Amino acid sequence: MRTVHTERFMVPVKAAAEVVSRLEELDARRLMSDQLMRRILFRMVVDGGSWLRVRTGDVDPDGQTRCRLTYKMVEQVDHLTSDRQIEVERAIDLVVESYDECVELLSRIGLMPVSRQETRRTKYICQFEDARYTVSFDTWPWLEDLRFVSVEPLEGISPDSLEDFGDSLGLRKYRGYKGGVDQAYRERLGFEVSSIRDVRFGVLFPGESILVADNSR
C-alpha cells in the first residue's frame, strides 16, 4: 500500500487559467484536455474512512489511458515534530482491462455501488527543480465555475518541495481545502457528492430523490 502525497485546491476558473499559463512557462507537457472520465464508488463495510473506486479515462504520465481499481483509506497518524495528529491517505491501485467487467465483478461479489460519477480532466506533467509532478484540473457536474486542482509528485520528495511547487504555480492562497469535492458539494448544494447516486453532465441537479440511503462509502 502506497502513501499518497497530493495537494488539492479548489480554484475559480479564471485563476485555474493563470495556473495553466504558469505551467506552460515551465514547459509542462499536456497529457489530456477536458477529457471525460467515468468512475463508480463502492460502499466499504470495513470503516467509514475507506472506499473502493473503479475509474476509466485518466491518462498516465506515459501517455496511456488505463482503467484502474483503487482502494483508498484515510488514517490519523502522529505528526513527527508536534503532538498533533494529521491525516494520511494510503492507496492500492490495480490496472484492469475492462471498466464494465470490473464493475460487474464487484457487484457480483456483493459490493454495493454508491455513486456513479462523471468528471472532465485536463492534466499536465511538469519538471520542477529535481522532481516531476502531475497537475490535474477536474471539472465536476453542477460546479462548472470551479476547477479542482490536484498536484502529485511522481517521485519521492519532501512535503516542503511539494508545497514549493504549488506555491510556484500561484496556488498558495487556495491551500487548505481539506474537505475536497465532498465539502464543495455540501456547501453549494447541501449534499456530499459521494451520497448522490448519479453525477453526470448535462442534467439538472435532481434533488433528494437520488440520494443513497446510507452515506458511508
Residue 64's domain is classified under what CATH number? Answer: 2.40.320.10
**CA dist., res. 128 & res. 27, Å (int):** 10
- Residue-level pLDDT at 192: 87
Residue 212 lies in a domain: no
Residue 153 lies in a domain: yes
For residue 212, the 8-state DSSP code is -
- Residue-level pLDDT at 215: 43
Residue 211 lies in a domain: no
The cell numbers describing 147, all together, are 476547477
- Residue-level pLDDT at 208: 52
Residue 80 lies in a domain: yes
- Residue-level pLDDT at 195: 86
- Residue-level pLDDT at 179: 63
Residue 207 lies in a domain: no
Number of domains in the chain: 1
Burial 135-147 (b: 16+ CB within 10 A, else e): bbbbbbbbbeebb
- Residue-level pLDDT at 217: 38
Domain around 186? 2-202
- Residue-level pLDDT at 216: 39
In this structure, the number of other CB atoms found within 10 A of the CB of residue 156 comes to 9
In this structure, the number of other CB atoms found within 10 A of the CB of residue 42 comes to 19
Residue 209 lies in a domain: no
Residue 36 lies in a domain: yes
| Cβ-based burial of 38 (10 A; exposed 0-12, middle 13-18, buried ≥19) | middle
- Residue-level pLDDT at 214: 46
Spans in the chain with pLDDT lower than 50: 82, 85, 209, 212-217
